[in-house]
Amino acid sequence: MSDTERQREAVVQALENVTARLEEEKTHLTELDSAIGDADHGTNMTRGFSGANEKVKDMDEAEPAELVKTIGVTLVSEVGGASGPLYGGSIMSASQEFADEGITAETSVAFAEAYLEKVQDRGGAEVGAKTMVDALTPAVHTYKKSIETDDLAPLEALAKAVDAAERGVEFTTPIRAKKGRASYLGWRSVGHQDPGATSTLFIVEELLATAQTYLNGEVEATAEAEEAPEEMPDEVSEGEGE
């Protein structure tokens, strides 16, 4: 099997794994979203990734970049609302990082950085706003540092990224939402875990599970994260309320 064929197979398998995980967690994500949002995050994510899964299934000759772009295009059309362009449009744009060399340690870092940048550009959220960015930012920064500075293998780097994303999800619970529908609740959003950050963690966990198969190894996702979310905003740490 050529490198391109193996990469193509890995992308398809990763998408299948993510789709199955989101389906499994749909009720949980919906419950989280019902507390601070529209109660549709689980349904929307499952519909979008299921649609993408069907689209790429028969793309036997596609390059990895084309597969990833197709996933993004499908998410834009299937997820709907603001989330479609946020998730799908960002994936579409970042897929260009795989165009020349396929999926390597270096291009995967470039993809992760480009995806984070586009998510922030489109959504306007920074760390501490109680969004998916709180999980995505530490995961991407940790993955990049692990590859480029610590010279770790991609599998180890992904394990650290999972741990960082998990810490980011935990970080969203005690802070006040500043973006999205949850921000309308003001201080009532405190004490609730962000559903977007949670689904981001699930996705990164499934990327790790896929990598363990295709990179021939297993590693515990308990490594100390090198990048954690920024310090908790003063307004929360001081315990102020409305």
pLDDT at residue 102, rounded to an integer? 95
H-run or E-run covering 159: helix 154-172
DSSP 30-62: HHHHHHHS-S-HHHHHHHHHHHHHHHHTT-TT-
Band (pLDDT 50/70/90 cuts) for residue 234 is very low
pLDDT digit string (tens) for 113-154?
999 999 999 999 999 999 999 999 999 999 999 999 999 999
Domain annotation covers residue 75: yes
Instruction: For residues 42-54, give the mean pLDDT.
Output: 96
> What one-letter code names the amino acid at 210?
T
pLDDT at residue 231, rounded to an integer? 47
156 Cβ contact list (under 8 Å, min separation 6)? 146, 219, 223
The pair of three-digit structure tokens given for residue 42, joined into one six-digit string: 């689980």
pLDDT averaged over every residue in the chain:
89
Domain annotation covers residue 209: yes
3-state secondary structure of 178: coil
Domain annotation covers residue 66: yes
Structural domains of the chain, count: 1
Domain annotation covers residue 235: no
The pair of three-digit structure tokens given for residue 163, joined into one six-digit string: 């741990």
Res 168 pLDDT > 90? yes
Q: Residue 98 sits in which domain range?
A: 3-215
Domain annotation covers residue 149: yes
What does the alpha-carbon distance between residue 37 and residue 24 come to, in Å, rounded to a whole number? 20
Domain annotation covers residue 229: no
At 92, which CATH number? 1.25.40.340
29/228: higher pLDDT: 29
Question: In terms of residues, how long is the chain?
Answer: 242
pTM of the model: 0.88
Q: In whole angstroms, how far apart are CA 173 and each of 86, 112, 134, 152, 188?
A: 22, 24, 11, 31, 11
Domain annotation covers residue 107: yes
State phi, psi for 136 to the nearest 5 degrees: -70, -45
Domain annotation covers residue 232: no
Instruction: For residues 15-25, give the mean pLDDT.
Output: 98
- Asked if residues 162 and 216 have their Cβ atoms less than 8 Å apart, the reply is no
